[in-house]
Structures are given as C-alpha cells and as structure tokens.
Amino acid sequence: MSCARPHLPMFNQFLAELKNNARLRLGVAFIFGVLWVYAVLLLRDAQVAAVGEHRIASVKLARLQAATQQGDWGERLNAARTLQAEIEGRLWRSATMGLARASFQDVLNQQMRQAGITRPSVAMGSTDEENRSEGMQPGITDDLWKVKAKLVFDFNPVSFNKLFVQLANHPHHVVVESLHVTKEPVPRVEAVLLAYFQKPDSPPAAAK
C-alpha cells in the first residue's frame, strides 16, 4: 500500500484533467478504440487459423478413412505386378555391353532402311563409359546397361514419322533422349536414343 499511495494524487490529477479536457478524453478514447480493434483482429486471426487447421485435419482423416475402407489392395498389387512384368518384358537382352551396342545399332540401321531414311549415320556409346570417363558411378542400376546411340540423317517428314512410329512399336523399348532438326544448309535430324539392356546375371524381378 505504501508504494501505491504516491501514485494516487497523480491518478486523481489525471482523472480531473481528463474530466476537464475534451481533447484528452478524445485521445484516450481513440487509443482504447485502436487497442480494441487490434484485439478483435488478433482474435479473428486466431479463429481463422484454428478453423483452417481443423479443416486440414478433417481432410487428412477422411482420406485415411477412405484408404482403410478400400478392400482392393490385392487387385492393385496384381495390377502393379502386371505393369512391372510388361515394362521388364520390353527390356533388351544381351550377354555383354559390346553385343548390346551391336544389337542396338543393327536394329536402328534396319529401322532406318525400312523408313527410307537418307544419308544416315549412327554413333554408338553407353552411359557406363561416359560415367567412367568422368569418374562417376557406372550405369543407372546394377541390373541394367544403358546404351546410347546418336542418329544423324536428312530430314523428310514422311520417313521421319515412319521411323519414329516403327521405334515406338518395336518390341523392345526405345527412349528418345533428345531430338533436334537443323535447317541450314540442308535440313538434318540429330536424335539421341537410349536402350536399356537387362544384364545376363540379373534376371527380371517379375521372374524372381
């Protein structure tokens, strides 16, 4: 109480001045109004955040409940295994990397002849060799060889479309890594194609 007594005259003086000074009353009212609005805004933001968190939690819970109520997990697993078998069935096969490159090159030359490609050239390589030359780990996996071929040939819309339709329908999958067409001095196509070969000591997972 002894600490509060010295402040009582100041408080009474403030009340008296507040009673006699209209501007002071207006200023105090304005300050309290600002504080009240600020408190309301804080409360509203907290409420909005709480509602948003509740909605997110409700959506997650609904998804979890829907997933647990689905009884077709066996069918999904079988479908995934079927898709895996189809993908692995389109992998190329070869006993060595050298034979893999030769096999891929023979197929590309045959496909270009059938499509009527003119002035073709094929440069063979593999990402294994490129990675070793750069000091990187070879291959994309331990089970596959990734063989690369760069094709360069004259551009003709009919033969161009025929070639890539043939490659798309080939029993073994061919990936187009890059494709460029130059216009001058003669329209030429530069395409980099990839083939994935299953290594002989690594049978497909579907057959395991």
What is the full per-residue pLDDT of the chain (208 aa) written as tens digits?
455 455 566 666 766 776 777 776 677 676 767 677 667 777 777 777 777 787 888 888 888 777 766 667 667 667 677 766 667 777 888 888 999 999 999 999 999 999 999 999 999 987 655 555 444 444 455 788 899 999 999 999 999 999 999 999 999 999 999 999 988 788 999 999 999 998 887 555 544 4
What global pTM score does this model have? 0.54
Number of other CB atoms surrounding residue 131 within 10 Å: 15
* Cα radius of gyration rounded to whole Å, the chain: 38
Separation of CA 179 from chain center: 22
Residue 200: is the preceding peptide bond cis (ω within 30°)? no
Phi/psi of residue 55, nearest 5 degrees: -65, -45
Q: For 92-207, give the CATH class.
A: alpha beta
